[in-house]
Amino acid sequence: METKSGVKVLITESDLIDYAGMWLKADEDNSLKAIFPGVALKEEKKNDRDVVVSEYADYIAVTKGARSFPWRILALAETDADLITNQLSFLLGEKNVIEDPSWIKPGKVSWDWWNAMNLYGVDFKSGVNTESYKYYIDFASEYGIEYIILDEGWYELGDLMMLTPNINMEEILSYAKQKDVGVILWVIWKTLWDQWDVAFDQFEKWGIKGIKVDFMQRDDQWMVNYYEKVAQECAERKLLVDFHGAYKPAGLRSKYPNVITREGLRGLEQNKWCDLEVPKHDVTLPFIRMVAGPMDYTPGAMVNAQEDNFKAIWNRPMSQGTRCHQLAMYVVYESPLQMLADSPSNYYGEPECMEFLSVVPTVWDTTVVISAKIADNIVVARKNGDEWYIGAMTDAAKDLTFDFSFLDDGNYNIQFYRDGINADNYASDFVMGKSTVTKADKMDIHLATGGGWAARIWKE
């Protein structure tokens, strides 16, 4: 919300443990009313993933009275930029309980589901099969991408112990180990719950690196506790967790840093089935959802379109906005586990983009917000080690000027990606350039409609 004085007020919560999540509804008298899901008394299982609460209690939780309750956060920001660096959600979560978290490795992930396994120029039939996943592993290994994920299809739905016929898990995992690529497995939350011990024992035996838990779609007390049970079990077995179909981050990652990212937003997958006002949404997310914590937007589309020539196609997806809009997301959007959503075959055809995507980090030491206006534009510089990266995103076309005063003394190399001259019509149009800069320099950039700009900066 924005006050009359211009101060922004973002409302969220943290330290959400053994309690129901908070929702807000606007009343007619210009006030907000808190709404909480009651305790689930009866449930109806529709299928392997959809478990609907058919009867709620008229109370929020059954819990001890002598306890701390979730923090309600009012994050005050004098400028839009202040929202980007607000860390209250993390700071107000419980302290880390993992004694030695050194095994928790952030990184990028080659992802199969969004691109509908569209592999080409290969001598095998692409799909959910061993050959295709070895191709993903080869791609990840070649470009130093830390993980691949096996999303929906690797097991017979409803039974995590029943592999689909074309999957040889031992062969995939052995091949991945040879190539120094970790494997993450997608699971439906309810199937995992029903097969808890046997599933986790099998995951540990296989030596996978993490799980992506999907379709919870609730935040009543039981489900909030389910999240923590998953986090704890995975911590004990040294597994990363990526929650999808999830509620907003609310402090759990502070207590269990192996909960490395989560969805809880309208991400790139929405482009597969609906036509939203996407670029405006993209430059709104950093100021709202991202304030609560890392978000698995799953960027990286190499087929790009503007609104007037965009079409939602389930099995041949594209993104709305420009190519550089997608590249900039890797800097602007926080997610220690960051997906490369498109097909490896498409990435192989984009070597210039892969020069950036293969090296851009997923965690940062320093963040400097250069420009920020909610639902309009954002320019962020982030540092990892000795290198800086910049990401700029916009809704409408615009020209921006910024300086490099965040750099130390000396000369720096800069490799940048800007919207091509025809990107307003052909959104995949981009230009890669190289130059040198110092802290005293300024740069003018032009962003196309739904455009972006990205750069890597390193010392000469």
Q: Which burial class, exposed, middle or buried, applies to 262 when counting CB atoms under 10 A from its CB (0-12, 13-18, 19+)?
A: buried
Annotation says 233 is catalytic: no
Spell out the residues 6+ positions from residue 173 whose beta carbon is closer than 8 angstroms to its own: 183, 206, 207, 208
Task: List the catalytic residue out of 15, 112, 151, 214.
Answer: 214
Rounded to the nearest 10 degrees, the angle between the axes of helix 169-178 and helix 196-206 is: 40
Residues in the chain: 460
Spell out the residues 6+ positions from residue 45 whose beta carbon is closer than 8 angstroms to its own: 51, 52, 190
Task: List the catalytic residue out of 269, 307, 387, 429.
Answer: 269
What is the DSSP secondary-structure string of 286-314? GGTHHHHS--------SSEE-GGG----T
Q: Which residue has the tokens 């529709």?
A: 46
Q: Which burial class, exposed, middle or buried, applies to 380 when counting CB atoms under 10 A from its CB (0-12, 13-18, 19+)?
A: buried
How do beta strands 71-77 and 40-45 pair? unpaired
C-alpha span between 141 and 144 (Å, rounded): 5
Annotation says 27 is catalytic: no
Tokens of 439: 């802290």
Q: Which burial class, exposed, middle or buried, applies to 440 when counting CB atoms under 10 A from its CB (0-12, 13-18, 19+)?
A: exposed
Catalogue the active-site residues: 214, 269
